[in-house]
Amino acid sequence: MMTICRNCFIFFFDYFAAKKKRCTFVGRLMFASLISSMPMYICTFWCVLLLLDVAEKRQTAKKRLLAYMAAAALLYMGHCVYFNRLTGLLPVSDTVYVTMNLAVFPLYYIYLKELTEPEWNHRWQWLLLAPAVVVGLTVGLLYWLMSPAETTLFVDSYLYRDDSHALSGVGWWLATVHRGAKAVFALLVVFVLFMGFRKIRKYEQVLEQNYADTDDKRLPLVKVVLWLFVVTSFISFLANVLGRNSFADSPWLLLVPSTVFSVLQFLLGYAGYRQQFTVRDLLRELDITAPESDTVTESSSESQHTVLDELPRQIADVVSSDRLFLQPNLKITDVADLLHTNRTYVSRVLKEEMGTTFADFINRQRIEYACQLMEQQPQLPASEVARLSGFSSQSSFYRNYKHYMGHAPKDNLLAP
C-alpha cells in the first residue's frame, strides 16, 4: 500500500511539475512574442492614422512620414520573426529586415526635407535609399543561391550564435554582407542626425526672419524626436554591434530595446501627426512664389543703396511709432508693405545693419511694452499682459519674457 501511494505521489508530482514547466515555457513564449512585436504594432497603428489623414488632406510631408512608418513596421516585423524563431520565414524576413534597417533613417531624413525645404532635388532620395536597395537585393540573391542545408547552417550559426567559422561559400559571403550593412547603418545614422539638425535650424532661422510669432510654426516635437533618435541610434548601433543573437534567448533583456524603440516610434508618430505647418505653408502665407530679386543693377545702384541706408530708421519708426509690434501674428511682409519695399531688403537690413532677426526685433519691443504695463498696472494677470503686448499666446509671452529678462514674469509681478 505504501508503495502504491508513493508511486501515485511521484506520478502526480511529475505530472504537475511537467505541466508547470510547459506553462512556464508557453508563458515565456507569449511574453517574448508580445515584447518583440510591440514596436511593430505601434508603427502599424500610426500607419493607419497617417493613411487616413493623407487620404483626407493629401499633405506631401505626411506621405513621407507614412513611408517611414511602413518601413519601420516591416523592420520590426523582421524582429518578430527572428525573436519568435520562425526559422522557415527567416530567409524572406531577414532580407526585408536588412533592407528596411538601411532605409528607415534616410526615409525620416526625406520627411524632414519635406518639412523644411520648399524645393529640393528628389533624385537625392533615391541616392539615399540606394544602399538599402543594393544590400537588400544582394542579401535576397545570396539566400536564393544557398541550398536548404546551407541556409539552416547560416541561420543557426550566424544569425542566432554570431559564429561564422563554420560557414563557407555563399554563407560566408552572406555573413560578410551582414557585417558591411552594420557599418553602412552607422554612417547613415551619423549623416541623418547631423543633417537633420541642420535642416531644422535653417528652417527656424527662416521663421525668425519672417514672423514675429513662431511658436505654432516651429518643429519642437520633431526636434525632441530627433534628440531621442540620438539615444536610440546609439542603442541601435550597439545592438547591431552586439548582434540580435545577444537578445534572442532573454526576453527580459529584449524588453529594454523594445520598450525604447516603442516609445520613440509612438512619439515620432505623434509629432508627425500633430505637425501641420511646413515650409510650404510658410511660402503660401507670405505669398512667395519665387525668390525676390536681391540684385542691384549698375544704373540704379546709388538709389538702391540710398533706400537700404534709410531702411533701418524707417523700420524702427514704423514699428515703434505705429506700435506695429502690438499686432498679433505680425509678418515681415506687413512691414515691407507699409514701407513700399520687399521683405528681402527688410530682412537683409535687420540682419546686416541692425544685427537682429525680425522675431527678435519685434518681441524685444513687446517685452519692453509688457514691462511698462506690469509697472503701471501691477494688478493685471500675466495672460492679459500677454494679450495687450501683442503675443499670440501666454506661453509665447512667458518664453520670450524669460529669454530677454532672465526670469519668469511671475517673479516680477510678485516682487515687492
Kindly report, residue by residue over 255-287, the tens digit of the pLDDT: 777 888 888 889 888 888 888 777 777 777 776
In this prediction, residue 230 carries a pLDDT of: 73
The set of residues, in sequence order, having a beta carbon less than 8 Å from that of 349 and lying 6+ positions away, is 308, 311, 312, 315
Least confident range from 39-53, 103-117, 233-247: namely 233-247
Q: What's the pLDDT tens digit per position in 294-336?
A: 443 333 444 455 555 677 888 888 888 778 888 888 888 888 8
Q: Which residues pair with 211 in a beta bridge?
A: 331
How is residue 37 written as a grid cell?
A: 512585436
Cβ-count burial of 140 within 10 angstroms (0-12 exposed, 13-18 middle, 19+ buried)?
A: middle
Kindly report which listed range (45-59, 134-148, 355-369) carries the lowest average pLDDT score: 45-59
- Please say whether the beta carbons of 349 and 384 come within 8 A: no
CA distance 57 to 133: 30
Instruction: Let me know: does 272 contact 222? Beta carbons within 8 Å.
Output: yes
**296 in helix, strand or coil?**
coil
Q: Which residue has the cell 512574442?
A: 33
pLDDT category of residue 340 using cuts at 50, 70 and 90: confident
Tell me the H-state helices in 58-169: 60-83, 90-116, 123-145, 148-154
Tell me the pLDDT band of 200, cut-offs 50, 70 and 90: confident
- Arithmetic mean of pLDDT over the chain: 79
Query: Residue 208 — very low, low, confident or very high, per pLDDT cuts 50/70/90?
Result: confident
Specify whether the CB–CB gap between 393 and 215 falls below 8 A: yes
- Rounded to two decimals, what is the model's pTM? 0.77
Whether pLDDT at 233 is above 50: yes
- Cβ neighbours of residue 158 under 8 Å, at least 6 residues apart? 164, 167, 171, 174, 175, 178
**Contact call for residues 352 and 305 (beta carbons, < 8 A):** no
The CA-atom distances, in angstroms, between 228 and each of 201, 275, 363, 392 are: 17, 17, 30, 29
* Straight-line distance from the first to the last Cα atom of the chain, in angstroms, rounded to the nearest whole number: 94
Q: What's residue 32's pLDDT? A: 59
